[in-house]
Amino acid sequence: MQIVQQVLFVIAAAVAIWMFSRKAKQIWRNIRLGRDADYSDNKGQRWKNVLLLAFGQKKMFKKPLVALMHFVIYAGFIIINIEVLEIFLDGVLGTHRIFREPLGGVYTALINSFEFLAVGVIIVCAAFLVRRNIIKLKRFIHRDLDGWPRSDANYILITEIVLMTLFLTMNAADPTVNFFFSQWLHPLFEGMSAGTLVAIERTAWWLHILGIFAFLNYLPYSKHLHILLAFPNAYYARLQPQGKMKNMPEVQKEVLYAMQPELATSDAAPPARFGAKDIFDLTWRNLLDAYSCTECGRCSEACPATKTGKLLSPRSIVMKTRDRMEDVGANINKNGKFEDDGKTLLHDYIEVEQLRACTACQACVEACPVAIHPLEIILDLRRSLVMEESNAPAEWNAMFSNIENNFAPWKFSPEERDKWAEEMNAQS
């Protein structure tokens, strides 16, 4: 009977790891659909970002209470999974609590700390469910989350409660151990035979590890993929000052040549595209941003355009970019390569009105806890809209014309710019 359980466990583990690996490769392929970009500079600052933003969750602590609650779930996820190593080895080797004898009292202390975290995770997940479904905080009921995204968050919270409950039940039904929190559940098992206790413990053990395998394969389809991708996203985060926009060298050269024709060369090649119309025109880091999004809504909560009721929502921009990637990925899976589906990120997924509402104030960038930069996507899409399609409001076109002809946004020739000073001198 024991060998059968070992074989079943190995099969379940192999299938779970294979399925996760296959989806992980597809996600990495989708990210690499973006343009190449070099983010190998300043490694010290990048590792600092990983420590502060990903491990330390620095930006979360702008709201200390919520940050502390989130940290409990985060710590529970990271630390309790150390216990999964024991479960995995027990499943493969057919042992029972393989680390108990070698570690002795240290083992009891470890499991007790895991139980403290498990209880904390249950309490915090319940609180988060209340915030989302009873209190209904505004950023959790926004139209961005209509449908699957809203359900996704609830599924994850409920799953974590179930997994932690199974962990405590497994410990409580095991007559060979006695831990701090699970011992409070002992009255539930009084009067039961040894065989019944073993059956309950084994059932909780199997459901716990199978639940973890299922959770592992649910992650790539969920916003909770950020549990894994927050770390590389923090490492490859944009390091330039927030107010510095990414310019196109080809355009800068054209402006320079217009002002100083003698510098112009005949071998200057025009850019293949101005801005971005689809995900292929964004950088791979922009696409990594999209997969790293936690859908927490802090970016949209901070956005002045969103607050005033405009269509723009930075969270929606990032989520739609990820949706487009997933659709392109499905296209590649079906056809072996991408076959033109007649759609683009601009227009079919993200509307023009959203892009025009952005003031480039950087509030969304400052608010994001995992260093996502929605503004880069917005500006690249808007650049394509204006420079590729000549699609801009009349007020913008007037400004562009003035800049081209008068080297300033105003309709005054350069020779007349100092007239206001002359008038002031005349009055004095």
Q: pLDDT tens, position by position, for the chain (428 residues)?
A: 688 889 999 999 999 999 999 999 999 999 999 999 999 899 999 999 999 998 888 888 888 888 888 888 888 777 777 788 999 999 999 999 999 999 888 999 999 999 999 999 999 999 999 999 999 988 888 888 888 898 998 999 999 999 999 999 999 999 888 898 998 988 888 888 888 999 999 999 999 999 999 999 999 999 989 989 999 999 999 998 887 888 777 777 777 776 677 666 666 666 677 889 999 999 999 999 999 999 999 999 999 999 999 999 999 999 999 999 999 999 999 999 999 999 999 999 999 999 999 999 999 999 999 999 999 999 999 999 988 888 888 888 888 888 878 878 887 777 777 776 776 766 65
In 148-283, which residue ranges form alpha helices assigned H by DSSP?
148-172, 194-218, 226-235, 249-259
| Distance (Å, whole) CA 299 – CA 314 | 6
CB 370 within 8 A of CB 233: yes
* pLDDT confidence of residue 267: 61
Yes or no: say if 34 and 287 are a contact pair by the CB < 8 Å rule: yes
Q: What pLDDT is stored for residue 378 in this prediction?
A: 96
The predicted pLDDT at position 269 comes to 64
> Nearest 5 degrees, angle CA 15-CA 16-CA 18?
65
- DSSP letter assigned to residue 408: S
Q: What is the pLDDT of residue 29?
A: 97
Nearest residue to 316 via CA among 263, 256, 381: 381
- Give the helix/strand (H/E) hosting 277: none
Residue type, position 233, single letter: N
